[in-house]
Structure 1
Amino acid sequence: MTSIFRMLFAIPRAIVRLVWRLFWGIVKTAIVLGVILFAINFYAEHSNSALAQSIFQIRETVSNFFSSTSASELKQTLSHLSTDDFVTYDGARWTHPKATVYIASTDATLVAAYQEALANWNATGSFTFTQVTNKSDAQIILADESDSSSQAAGLAELKTNSLTNHITHVDVKLNRYYLLDNDFGYTYERIVNTAEHELGHAIGLFHDDNEDSVMQSSGSYYGIQQVDIAAVNKLYQEN
Protein backbone atom coordinates (compact mmCIF):
# COMPACT_ATOMS: atom_id res chain seq x y z
CA MET A 1 0.00 0.00 0.00
CA THR A 2 2.85 2.35 0.92
CA SER A 3 4.48 1.79 -2.45
CA ILE A 4 1.24 2.66 -4.21
CA PHE A 5 0.98 5.99 -2.37
CA ARG A 6 4.59 6.75 -3.16
CA MET A 7 3.91 6.08 -6.82
CA LEU A 8 0.82 8.30 -6.79
CA PHE A 9 2.79 11.18 -5.27
CA ALA A 10 5.75 10.58 -7.54
CA ILE A 11 3.75 11.06 -10.74
CA PRO A 12 2.70 14.70 -10.02
CA ARG A 13 6.25 15.54 -8.91
CA ALA A 14 7.61 14.09 -12.13
CA ILE A 15 5.13 16.12 -14.19
CA VAL A 16 6.03 19.32 -12.31
CA ARG A 17 9.75 18.69 -12.84
CA LEU A 18 9.16 18.03 -16.54
CA VAL A 19 7.13 21.22 -16.98
CA TRP A 20 9.74 23.19 -15.04
CA ARG A 21 12.55 21.86 -17.22
CA LEU A 22 10.59 22.65 -20.38
CA PHE A 23 9.90 26.17 -19.14
CA TRP A 24 13.54 26.87 -18.35
CA GLY A 25 14.55 25.26 -21.61
CA ILE A 26 12.34 27.74 -23.48
CA VAL A 27 13.68 30.65 -21.40
CA LYS A 28 17.29 29.64 -22.05
CA THR A 29 16.60 29.23 -25.77
CA ALA A 30 14.98 32.68 -25.89
CA ILE A 31 17.95 34.21 -24.10
CA VAL A 32 20.42 32.57 -26.48
CA LEU A 33 18.42 33.69 -29.52
CA GLY A 34 18.19 37.20 -28.08
CA VAL A 35 21.96 37.36 -27.61
CA ILE A 36 22.52 36.06 -31.14
CA LEU A 37 20.11 38.60 -32.65
CA PHE A 38 21.68 41.40 -30.63
CA ALA A 39 25.13 40.37 -31.84
CA ILE A 40 23.95 40.20 -35.46
CA ASN A 41 22.27 43.60 -35.18
CA PHE A 42 25.37 45.10 -33.56
CA TYR A 43 27.53 43.65 -36.32
CA ALA A 44 25.21 44.98 -39.04
CA GLU A 45 25.33 48.52 -37.62
CA HIS A 46 29.06 48.67 -36.86
CA SER A 47 30.63 46.90 -39.81
CA ASN A 48 31.14 47.98 -43.40
CA SER A 49 31.39 44.46 -44.79
CA ALA A 50 29.10 43.22 -47.55
CA LEU A 51 27.59 40.68 -45.15
CA ALA A 52 26.77 43.41 -42.64
CA GLN A 53 25.11 45.51 -45.33
CA SER A 54 23.01 42.54 -46.45
CA ILE A 55 21.90 41.86 -42.88
CA PHE A 56 21.02 45.53 -42.41
CA GLN A 57 18.89 45.57 -45.58
CA ILE A 58 17.06 42.40 -44.54
CA ARG A 59 16.35 43.89 -41.12
CA GLU A 60 14.95 47.09 -42.64
CA THR A 61 12.77 45.14 -45.06
CA VAL A 62 11.28 43.05 -42.26
CA SER A 63 10.80 46.14 -40.09
CA ASN A 64 8.99 48.02 -42.85
CA PHE A 65 6.77 45.02 -43.58
CA PHE A 66 5.54 44.77 -40.01
CA SER A 67 5.36 48.50 -39.32
CA SER A 68 1.82 49.76 -38.67
CA THR A 69 0.04 51.83 -41.30
CA SER A 70 -0.36 55.48 -40.36
CA ALA A 71 -3.81 56.98 -39.94
CA SER A 72 -3.37 59.20 -43.00
CA GLU A 73 -2.38 56.20 -45.16
CA LEU A 74 -5.39 54.27 -43.90
CA LYS A 75 -7.70 57.15 -44.75
CA GLN A 76 -6.17 57.45 -48.21
CA THR A 77 -6.79 53.74 -48.77
CA LEU A 78 -10.37 53.87 -47.55
CA SER A 79 -11.14 56.86 -49.75
CA HIS A 80 -10.75 54.58 -52.77
CA LEU A 81 -12.89 51.75 -51.47
CA SER A 82 -16.52 51.09 -52.24
CA THR A 83 -18.66 54.17 -52.70
CA ASP A 84 -21.58 52.52 -50.98
CA ASP A 85 -23.43 49.52 -49.68
CA PHE A 86 -26.80 48.85 -51.18
CA VAL A 87 -29.52 46.29 -50.73
CA THR A 88 -31.64 45.88 -53.84
CA TYR A 89 -33.21 43.25 -56.06
CA ASP A 90 -32.62 42.35 -59.69
CA GLY A 91 -34.95 44.31 -61.95
CA ALA A 92 -36.62 46.16 -59.08
CA ARG A 93 -38.18 49.50 -60.00
CA TRP A 94 -41.00 51.83 -59.05
CA THR A 95 -44.42 51.39 -60.63
CA HIS A 96 -43.80 54.63 -62.51
CA PRO A 97 -40.58 56.65 -62.94
CA LYS A 98 -41.33 58.96 -60.04
CA ALA A 99 -41.17 58.96 -56.24
CA THR A 100 -41.62 61.31 -53.29
CA VAL A 101 -38.62 62.12 -51.09
CA TYR A 102 -38.05 63.59 -47.66
CA ILE A 103 -34.67 64.97 -46.57
CA ALA A 104 -34.19 63.88 -42.97
CA SER A 105 -30.55 64.98 -42.75
CA THR A 106 -29.92 68.17 -40.79
CA ASP A 107 -26.33 68.71 -41.92
CA ALA A 108 -26.22 71.80 -44.15
CA THR A 109 -23.63 70.37 -46.56
CA LEU A 110 -25.42 67.07 -47.02
CA VAL A 111 -28.83 68.73 -47.35
CA ALA A 112 -27.46 70.98 -50.10
CA ALA A 113 -25.86 67.97 -51.80
CA TYR A 114 -29.12 66.01 -51.65
CA GLN A 115 -31.08 68.93 -53.10
CA GLU A 116 -28.60 69.41 -55.93
CA ALA A 117 -28.57 65.68 -56.68
CA LEU A 118 -32.38 65.62 -56.81
CA ALA A 119 -32.42 68.60 -59.17
CA ASN A 120 -29.80 66.98 -61.40
CA TRP A 121 -31.76 63.75 -61.71
CA ASN A 122 -34.99 65.65 -62.36
CA ALA A 123 -33.24 67.65 -65.09
CA THR A 124 -32.57 64.44 -67.03
CA GLY A 125 -36.29 63.86 -67.56
CA SER A 126 -35.82 60.13 -66.97
CA PHE A 127 -37.12 60.10 -63.40
CA THR A 128 -38.94 62.61 -61.22
CA PHE A 129 -38.27 63.12 -57.52
CA THR A 130 -40.83 65.22 -55.66
CA GLN A 131 -39.67 66.60 -52.32
CA VAL A 132 -42.27 66.57 -49.54
CA THR A 133 -42.28 68.26 -46.15
CA ASN A 134 -43.97 65.43 -44.26
CA LYS A 135 -41.80 62.37 -43.65
CA SER A 136 -44.80 60.04 -43.55
CA ASP A 137 -45.69 61.06 -47.11
CA ALA A 138 -42.28 60.13 -48.50
CA GLN A 139 -41.40 56.96 -50.37
CA ILE A 140 -37.68 57.72 -50.08
CA ILE A 141 -35.99 58.99 -46.91
CA LEU A 142 -32.68 60.81 -47.38
CA ALA A 143 -30.72 60.76 -44.13
CA ASP A 144 -27.14 60.57 -42.89
CA GLU A 145 -25.03 58.69 -40.37
CA SER A 146 -21.49 58.60 -39.03
CA ASP A 147 -20.23 55.03 -39.24
CA SER A 148 -16.48 54.43 -38.99
CA SER A 149 -16.96 50.65 -39.09
CA SER A 150 -18.31 50.85 -42.64
CA GLN A 151 -16.02 51.28 -45.64
CA ALA A 152 -18.74 52.97 -47.64
CA ALA A 153 -19.58 56.62 -48.19
CA GLY A 154 -23.27 55.88 -48.60
CA LEU A 155 -26.00 53.31 -48.19
CA ALA A 156 -29.24 52.58 -50.03
CA GLU A 157 -31.72 50.02 -48.72
CA LEU A 158 -34.64 49.12 -50.96
CA LYS A 159 -37.86 47.38 -49.99
CA THR A 160 -39.92 45.76 -52.71
CA ASN A 161 -43.23 44.04 -53.26
CA SER A 162 -42.32 40.35 -53.50
CA LEU A 163 -45.03 39.70 -56.10
CA THR A 164 -44.48 42.61 -58.50
CA ASN A 165 -40.82 43.39 -57.65
CA HIS A 166 -41.83 47.03 -57.51
CA ILE A 167 -39.97 49.23 -55.07
CA THR A 168 -42.13 50.37 -52.17
CA HIS A 169 -39.66 52.25 -49.96
CA VAL A 170 -36.00 53.31 -49.90
CA ASP A 171 -33.77 54.50 -47.07
CA VAL A 172 -30.67 56.39 -48.20
CA LYS A 173 -27.88 57.42 -45.85
CA LEU A 174 -24.75 59.44 -46.57
CA ASN A 175 -21.85 58.63 -44.27
CA ARG A 176 -20.62 61.82 -42.58
CA TYR A 177 -17.56 60.00 -41.23
CA TYR A 178 -16.02 59.92 -44.71
CA LEU A 179 -17.79 62.62 -46.68
CA LEU A 180 -17.22 65.47 -44.21
CA ASP A 181 -13.64 64.63 -43.24
CA ASN A 182 -11.22 66.45 -45.54
CA ASP A 183 -8.61 63.73 -45.05
CA PHE A 184 -10.71 61.39 -47.19
CA GLY A 185 -10.61 63.74 -50.16
CA TYR A 186 -14.34 64.22 -50.72
CA THR A 187 -14.90 67.61 -52.30
CA TYR A 188 -18.42 69.05 -52.40
CA GLU A 189 -18.68 67.91 -56.02
CA ARG A 190 -17.87 64.34 -55.02
CA ILE A 191 -20.42 64.51 -52.21
CA VAL A 192 -23.06 65.53 -54.76
CA ASN A 193 -21.92 62.68 -57.01
CA THR A 194 -22.30 60.28 -54.08
CA ALA A 195 -25.83 61.55 -53.44
CA GLU A 196 -26.64 61.11 -57.14
CA HIS A 197 -25.20 57.59 -56.95
CA GLU A 198 -27.43 56.64 -54.02
CA LEU A 199 -30.45 58.14 -55.74
CA GLY A 200 -29.54 56.01 -58.74
CA HIS A 201 -29.90 52.95 -56.52
CA ALA A 202 -33.19 54.37 -55.21
CA ILE A 203 -34.38 54.50 -58.82
CA GLY A 204 -33.38 50.86 -59.31
CA LEU A 205 -29.94 51.07 -60.92
CA PHE A 206 -27.06 48.71 -60.16
CA HIS A 207 -23.34 49.46 -60.18
CA ASP A 208 -21.75 50.03 -63.58
CA ASP A 209 -17.95 49.75 -63.65
CA ASN A 210 -17.71 49.32 -67.42
CA GLU A 211 -18.15 52.98 -68.35
CA ASP A 212 -17.83 56.51 -67.00
CA SER A 213 -20.96 56.48 -64.88
CA VAL A 214 -22.38 57.93 -61.69
CA MET A 215 -23.08 54.30 -60.80
CA GLN A 216 -19.43 53.25 -60.64
CA SER A 217 -18.93 51.26 -57.45
CA SER A 218 -16.05 53.38 -56.16
CA GLY A 219 -14.76 56.90 -56.27
CA SER A 220 -17.79 59.09 -56.98
CA TYR A 221 -15.71 60.87 -59.58
CA TYR A 222 -18.56 61.11 -62.07
CA GLY A 223 -21.91 62.82 -61.98
CA ILE A 224 -24.93 61.63 -63.96
CA GLN A 225 -23.87 60.56 -67.46
CA GLN A 226 -25.85 59.84 -70.62
CA VAL A 227 -25.30 56.13 -70.01
CA ASP A 228 -27.08 56.48 -66.66
CA ILE A 229 -30.05 58.25 -68.24
CA ALA A 230 -30.25 55.51 -70.86
CA ALA A 231 -30.16 52.85 -68.13
CA VAL A 232 -33.11 54.47 -66.32
CA ASN A 233 -35.11 54.80 -69.54
CA LYS A 234 -34.42 51.16 -70.38
CA LEU A 235 -35.41 49.98 -66.89
CA TYR A 236 -38.79 51.72 -67.05
CA GLN A 237 -39.52 50.96 -70.69
CA GLU A 238 -39.00 47.24 -70.20
CA ASN A 239 -41.48 46.95 -67.33
Structure 2
Amino acid sequence: MKKLLINLFFILSISTSVFCQIEEKMKDEGVVSGVIYKNGGEIEGYIKMTGMAYTNEEWFPAPWQFQSGIKFIPKDVFEKNEKIKNKFYEKYGAKDCDGYRYDTLVYESVKYADMSAVGMNMLPKKMFMRKVSEDKISLYHYFNTPPAVVSGSEGFEPYYLECANILFVYRIGKDGKLKLVNDLNIEKELSDCPMVLEKQSKGEYKIVGSKEESSGFNKLVNNSVFREEVRLQAIEDYNQNCK
Protein backbone atom coordinates (compact mmCIF):
# COMPACT_ATOMS: atom_id res chain seq x y z
CA MET A 1 0.00 0.00 0.00
CA LYS A 2 2.83 2.34 0.95
CA LYS A 3 4.61 1.57 -2.32
CA LEU A 4 1.43 2.28 -4.28
CA LEU A 5 1.01 5.64 -2.58
CA ILE A 6 4.64 6.53 -3.34
CA ASN A 7 4.17 5.61 -7.02
CA LEU A 8 0.96 7.66 -7.24
CA PHE A 9 2.69 10.64 -5.65
CA PHE A 10 5.59 10.28 -8.10
CA ILE A 11 3.23 10.15 -11.11
CA LEU A 12 1.26 13.14 -9.82
CA SER A 13 4.46 15.13 -9.30
CA ILE A 14 5.59 14.44 -12.88
CA SER A 15 2.15 15.36 -14.30
CA THR A 16 2.11 18.62 -12.32
CA SER A 17 5.63 19.47 -13.48
CA VAL A 18 4.76 18.82 -17.15
CA PHE A 19 1.58 20.89 -16.83
CA CYS A 20 3.51 23.81 -15.32
CA GLN A 21 6.09 23.62 -18.09
CA ILE A 22 3.37 23.74 -20.75
CA GLU A 23 1.69 26.67 -19.00
CA GLU A 24 4.98 28.56 -18.94
CA LYS A 25 5.63 27.70 -22.57
CA MET A 26 2.16 28.96 -23.56
CA LYS A 27 2.86 32.23 -21.79
CA ASP A 28 6.24 32.63 -23.50
CA GLU A 29 4.82 31.87 -26.95
CA GLY A 30 1.68 33.97 -26.48
CA VAL A 31 -0.82 31.22 -27.23
CA VAL A 32 -4.06 29.89 -25.75
CA SER A 33 -5.51 26.39 -25.96
CA GLY A 34 -7.71 25.90 -28.98
CA VAL A 35 -9.40 23.51 -31.37
CA ILE A 36 -9.86 23.56 -35.14
CA TYR A 37 -13.18 22.15 -36.39
CA LYS A 38 -12.73 20.58 -39.80
CA ASN A 39 -14.58 17.92 -41.82
CA GLY A 40 -16.64 16.91 -38.80
CA GLY A 41 -13.57 16.37 -36.61
CA GLU A 42 -11.49 18.31 -34.11
CA ILE A 43 -7.78 19.12 -34.12
CA GLU A 44 -6.46 20.07 -30.69
CA GLY A 45 -3.68 22.58 -30.35
CA TYR A 46 -2.84 26.16 -29.53
CA ILE A 47 -3.75 29.48 -31.16
CA LYS A 48 -1.69 32.68 -31.23
CA MET A 49 -3.25 35.31 -29.01
CA THR A 50 -5.18 37.97 -30.89
CA GLY A 51 -7.94 40.46 -30.24
CA MET A 52 -5.88 43.50 -29.18
CA ALA A 53 -4.81 46.56 -31.22
CA TYR A 54 -2.23 49.23 -30.39
CA THR A 55 -2.37 52.95 -31.12
CA ASN A 56 -1.24 56.15 -29.41
CA GLU A 57 0.74 54.11 -26.86
CA GLU A 58 -2.41 52.28 -25.71
CA TRP A 59 -3.86 48.82 -26.20
CA PHE A 60 -7.51 48.43 -27.18
CA PRO A 61 -9.81 45.39 -27.52
CA ALA A 62 -9.98 44.38 -31.19
CA PRO A 63 -12.65 41.64 -31.41
CA TRP A 64 -12.91 42.05 -35.20
CA GLN A 65 -9.51 40.32 -35.49
CA PHE A 66 -11.14 36.99 -34.59
CA GLN A 67 -13.29 37.21 -37.74
CA SER A 68 -10.44 37.03 -40.27
CA GLY A 69 -7.83 34.35 -39.62
CA ILE A 70 -5.80 32.63 -36.92
CA LYS A 71 -2.38 31.04 -36.49
CA PHE A 72 -2.63 27.51 -35.11
CA ILE A 73 -0.10 24.92 -33.97
CA PRO A 74 -1.11 21.29 -33.36
CA LYS A 75 -0.89 20.05 -29.78
CA ASP A 76 1.76 17.39 -30.39
CA VAL A 77 4.00 19.77 -32.37
CA PHE A 78 3.83 22.41 -29.64
CA GLU A 79 4.46 20.06 -26.75
CA LYS A 80 7.26 17.93 -28.23
CA ASN A 81 9.40 20.81 -29.57
CA GLU A 82 11.47 22.72 -27.04
CA LYS A 83 11.83 25.72 -29.35
CA ILE A 84 8.80 26.81 -31.36
CA LYS A 85 9.51 28.17 -34.83
CA ASN A 86 7.18 30.31 -36.91
CA LYS A 87 7.04 27.60 -39.59
CA PHE A 88 5.29 25.30 -37.10
CA TYR A 89 2.21 27.51 -37.15
CA GLU A 90 -0.54 26.90 -39.69
CA LYS A 91 -2.77 29.73 -40.92
CA TYR A 92 -6.50 29.10 -41.00
CA GLY A 93 -9.06 31.35 -42.67
CA ALA A 94 -12.83 30.89 -42.81
CA LYS A 95 -12.48 28.97 -46.10
CA ASP A 96 -10.07 26.46 -44.59
CA CYS A 97 -12.17 24.98 -41.79
CA ASP A 98 -15.62 24.86 -40.22
CA GLY A 99 -14.61 27.01 -37.25
CA TYR A 100 -12.45 27.06 -34.17
CA ARG A 101 -12.46 27.35 -30.40
CA TYR A 102 -10.25 30.06 -28.89
CA ASP A 103 -9.91 29.19 -25.21
CA THR A 104 -13.64 29.07 -24.27
CA LEU A 105 -14.99 31.10 -27.22
CA VAL A 106 -16.46 29.28 -30.22
CA TYR A 107 -16.25 30.74 -33.72
CA GLU A 108 -18.07 29.38 -36.75
CA SER A 109 -17.14 29.75 -40.40
CA VAL A 110 -20.07 31.55 -42.05
CA LYS A 111 -20.96 33.58 -45.12
CA TYR A 112 -22.26 37.02 -44.24
CA ALA A 113 -23.18 40.27 -45.98
CA ASP A 114 -23.47 43.41 -43.87
CA MET A 115 -26.40 45.34 -45.34
CA SER A 116 -26.37 48.12 -42.73
CA ALA A 117 -24.44 50.56 -44.94
CA VAL A 118 -23.50 50.96 -48.59
CA GLY A 119 -20.04 49.58 -49.25
CA MET A 120 -17.95 46.50 -49.97
CA ASN A 121 -19.30 44.79 -46.84
CA MET A 122 -22.61 44.35 -48.69
CA LEU A 123 -20.95 41.60 -50.74
CA PRO A 124 -21.28 38.17 -49.06
CA LYS A 125 -17.97 36.82 -47.83
CA LYS A 126 -16.67 34.02 -45.67
CA MET A 127 -15.60 34.96 -42.17
CA PHE A 128 -15.44 33.62 -38.65
CA MET A 129 -18.24 34.73 -36.36
CA ARG A 130 -18.57 34.01 -32.67
CA LYS A 131 -21.64 31.88 -31.88
CA VAL A 132 -23.15 32.90 -28.55
CA SER A 133 -26.27 30.69 -28.59
CA GLU A 134 -27.67 27.84 -30.66
CA ASP A 135 -31.43 27.37 -30.81
CA LYS A 136 -34.36 27.69 -33.21
CA ILE A 137 -33.00 31.20 -33.68
CA SER A 138 -29.24 31.24 -33.10
CA LEU A 139 -27.28 34.34 -32.15
CA TYR A 140 -23.81 35.52 -33.16
CA HIS A 141 -21.54 38.46 -32.44
CA TYR A 142 -20.37 40.54 -35.39
CA PHE A 143 -17.93 43.47 -35.38
CA ASN A 144 -17.19 46.12 -37.96
CA THR A 145 -13.57 46.40 -39.07
CA PRO A 146 -11.73 49.72 -38.74
CA PRO A 147 -10.20 51.32 -41.86
CA ALA A 148 -6.61 50.47 -42.78
CA VAL A 149 -5.59 54.14 -42.96
CA VAL A 150 -6.85 57.12 -40.95
CA SER A 151 -5.97 60.80 -40.61
CA GLY A 152 -6.09 63.21 -37.69
CA SER A 153 -4.38 63.48 -34.33
CA GLU A 154 -6.68 60.94 -32.65
CA GLY A 155 -5.46 58.22 -35.00
CA PHE A 156 -7.21 54.86 -34.80
CA GLU A 157 -8.55 55.27 -31.26
CA PRO A 158 -12.12 56.42 -32.10
CA TYR A 159 -12.39 53.71 -34.76
CA TYR A 160 -11.17 51.01 -32.39
CA LEU A 161 -13.68 52.10 -29.76
CA GLU A 162 -16.55 52.18 -32.25
CA CYS A 163 -15.68 48.84 -33.86
CA ALA A 164 -15.48 47.10 -30.47
CA ASN A 165 -19.25 47.47 -30.08
CA ILE A 166 -21.13 44.20 -30.46
CA LEU A 167 -23.63 43.85 -33.30
CA PHE A 168 -25.96 40.90 -32.79
CA VAL A 169 -26.65 38.69 -35.80
CA TYR A 170 -29.34 36.00 -35.95
CA ARG A 171 -30.07 32.91 -37.99
CA ILE A 172 -33.46 31.17 -38.15
CA GLY A 173 -32.92 27.41 -38.34
CA LYS A 174 -29.67 25.77 -39.44
CA ASP A 175 -29.73 27.03 -43.01
CA GLY A 176 -31.24 30.49 -42.57
CA LYS A 177 -29.56 33.63 -43.81
CA LEU A 178 -27.48 35.58 -41.29
CA LYS A 179 -28.95 39.03 -40.63
CA LEU A 180 -28.51 41.82 -38.12
CA VAL A 181 -30.91 41.49 -35.19
CA ASN A 182 -31.64 45.17 -35.68
CA ASP A 183 -33.21 44.30 -39.06
CA LEU A 184 -35.48 41.53 -37.73
CA ASN A 185 -39.07 42.00 -38.87
CA ILE A 186 -40.94 40.44 -35.94
CA GLU A 187 -44.37 40.50 -37.58
CA LYS A 188 -43.15 38.81 -40.76
CA GLU A 189 -40.30 36.50 -39.72
CA LEU A 190 -41.80 35.30 -36.42
CA SER A 191 -45.37 35.09 -37.72
CA ASP A 192 -45.59 31.38 -36.80
CA CYS A 193 -45.60 32.34 -33.12
CA PRO A 194 -48.85 34.16 -32.19
CA MET A 195 -47.68 34.80 -28.61
CA VAL A 196 -44.66 36.81 -29.80
CA LEU A 197 -46.78 38.75 -32.29
CA GLU A 198 -49.33 39.61 -29.61
CA LYS A 199 -46.69 40.82 -27.17
CA GLN A 200 -45.06 42.91 -29.90
CA SER A 201 -48.43 44.39 -30.87
CA LYS A 202 -49.15 45.36 -27.26
CA GLY A 203 -45.68 46.79 -26.78
CA GLU A 204 -44.77 44.28 -24.08
CA TYR A 205 -41.22 44.01 -25.34
CA LYS A 206 -39.86 47.14 -23.76
CA ILE A 207 -36.84 48.86 -22.34
CA VAL A 208 -38.73 51.97 -21.26
CA GLY A 209 -42.25 52.21 -19.91
CA SER A 210 -44.36 50.66 -17.15
CA LYS A 211 -45.16 46.98 -16.62
CA GLU A 212 -48.50 47.46 -18.33
CA GLU A 213 -49.07 47.84 -22.05
CA SER A 214 -46.80 50.53 -23.48
CA SER A 215 -48.18 53.83 -24.71
CA GLY A 216 -47.86 54.70 -28.37
CA PHE A 217 -44.89 56.92 -27.62
CA ASN A 218 -43.09 54.27 -25.57
CA LYS A 219 -43.71 51.70 -28.30
CA LEU A 220 -42.07 54.05 -30.77
CA VAL A 221 -39.08 54.60 -28.47
CA ASN A 222 -38.65 50.88 -27.78
CA ASN A 223 -38.81 49.95 -31.47
CA SER A 224 -36.48 52.70 -32.63
CA VAL A 225 -33.97 53.76 -29.97
CA PHE A 226 -33.94 50.30 -28.36
CA ARG A 227 -34.76 48.33 -31.49
CA GLU A 228 -32.05 45.69 -31.03
CA GLU A 229 -32.83 45.08 -27.35
CA VAL A 230 -36.55 44.64 -28.10
CA ARG A 231 -35.78 42.11 -30.84
CA LEU A 232 -33.44 40.16 -28.57
CA GLN A 233 -36.31 39.85 -26.09
CA ALA A 234 -38.62 38.60 -28.86
CA ILE A 235 -36.00 36.05 -29.98
CA GLU A 236 -35.61 34.77 -26.43
CA ASP A 237 -39.39 34.40 -26.14
CA TYR A 238 -39.58 32.62 -29.49
CA ASN A 239 -36.84 30.14 -28.55
CA GLN A 240 -38.48 29.34 -25.20
CA ASN A 241 -42.12 29.15 -26.24
CA CYS A 242 -42.52 28.53 -29.96
CA LYS A 243 -41.92 25.63 -32.32
TM-score, with structure 2 as normaliser: 0.25
Comparing both chains, which one has the higher relative contact order based on Cα–Cα distances under 8 Å and sequence gaps of 6 or more? 1
Larger Rg: 1
Structure with higher strand content: 2
